[in-house]
Amino acid sequence: MYRVGVDLGGTNIKIGIVDSRYRLIDQGLCRTNVKLGAESVIQEIVRQVYGILSKNEISGSEVAGVGIGCPGLVRIETGTVLYSNNFDWQDLPLKARLQEMMPWPVEIRNDAQCAVLGEMKAGSAVGYKNVVLVTLGTGVGSGIVVDGKILEGESGGGIAGHNVIKKNGRECTCGRRGCLEAYASATALISETKRQLKQHPESLIAELCAGDPDNIDGKTPFLAAGQGDPLGKKIIEEYIEALGNGLANLINLFRPGKVLISGGICNEEDALLIPLNRKVRENCFAPDWLSIPLVEIARLKNTAGIIGAASLIEAKETA
Ligand SMILES: [Zn+2]
């Protein structure tokens, strides 16, 4: 039997088919037209599902179900998206709507939770039962697995991005101040780079963005730091300190065997990982007594969310 996984993002809808061993048979991508509203996104998902199945000549009877990873707060039992910032959705009965339009079972979970499931099924965390994955993108998402199960609490638990790491710190989109997300997301890194550039126009960053701050992306401060630019180095140091604090808090709480990070910033590899792991170790409780897992880059990158979403569907393992 095959399973379909959909990774719903504010920019793209990614879709894939996996077989019973979580091998990705095929994948596709289309733009998300958020502005056209929820109904249009739902119809696009359905179109994509039928499209990829017919392209691969897979009949309906060979499909065990469709799993969806969605940003925001998801109530699993009802399949309702309680709130999604990226889509401006509230109380959207996504599972029910999709099930009206497709004959297969549908399951829905938060996108970062799907990503950690994907890494556990086919990526960096195969064989591990305690895993923390933090996604560094528009926001900071998290999937926390304890004793082999996603930590969900009664509902909506395991949200790492909105733990405060700095008292009276930066304003966060959630209304609090000093949240990890306000420091460690790619969005935060970019806006902080722009802000600090205004005070230090002599920085190499001005040259790297050709004088236009809108050209700054997550790579720019790393590039500047790599060339010895003092402002670039300062920005990256502050970024890594915040992320390291946030990850150390999670390690202290959950003591995972694997700690994974994902998102475009991870393309920096050692320029990020080496100082980050130093910072994490400095901040973890009892490093001399308890082993501290090294923070690693999640291996599956873009396909973790698809594979994890597909894994929400329990398939009869016949293939
Ligand atoms: Zn927050």
Angle (deg, nearest 10), helices 219-226 and 230-254:
120
Do 2-121+302-310 and 128-298 fold alike per CATH? yes
What is the 180 CA–ligand 1 centroid distance (Å)?
Answer: 7
Structure tokens at 203: 């920085």
Average pLDDT of the residues of the chain:
95
Q: What is the pLDDT of residues 112-122, one digit of tens each?
A: 999 999 999 99
What is the 265 CA–ligand 1 centroid distance (Å)?
Answer: 20
What is the 55 CA–ligand 1 centroid distance (Å)?
Answer: 42
Question: What number of residues does the chain have?
Answer: 319
What is the 155 CA–ligand 1 centroid distance (Å)?
Answer: 18
In the block, residue with structure tokens 């992320």: 243
Contact yes or no for 115/310 (Cβ under 8 A):
no
pLDDT band at 319 (very low <50, low <70, confident <90, very high): very low
Q: What is the pLDDT of residues 67-107, one digit of tens each?
A: 999 999 999 999 999 998 878 899 999 999 999 999 999 99
Structure tokens at 11: 């920019």
What is the 242 CA–ligand 1 centroid distance (Å)?
Answer: 14
CATH assignment of 2-121+302-310, among 3.50.50.60, 3.30.70.20, 3.40.50.150, 3.30.420.40:
3.30.420.40
* Residue 157 burial (CB count, 10 A): 10
Going by the DSSP 8-state scheme, the letter that residue 229 receives in this structure is -
Q: Which helix (H) or strand (E) holds 182?
A: helix 181-184
What is the 194 CA–ligand 1 centroid distance (Å)?
Answer: 21
Higher confidence at residue 295 or residue 34?
295
Phi, psi of 12 (to 5 degrees): -130, 155
Give the rounded percent of residues in the chain with a pLDDT score beyond 70.
98
Distances (CA, A) of 104 to 52, 93, 125, 246: 15, 16, 29, 39
Structure tokens at 260: 């994974």
Q: Which helix (H) or strand (E) holds 41?
A: helix 38-55
**Domain 128-298, what fold?**
Nucleotidyltransferase; domain 5 (3.30.420)
- Model-level pTM? 0.93
Write down the domain spans for the chain. Answer: 2-121+302-310, 128-298
* Residue 71 burial (CB count, 10 A): 25
pLDDT band at 202 (very low <50, low <70, confident <90, very high): very high
Is the pLDDT at 199 greater than 70, yes or no? yes
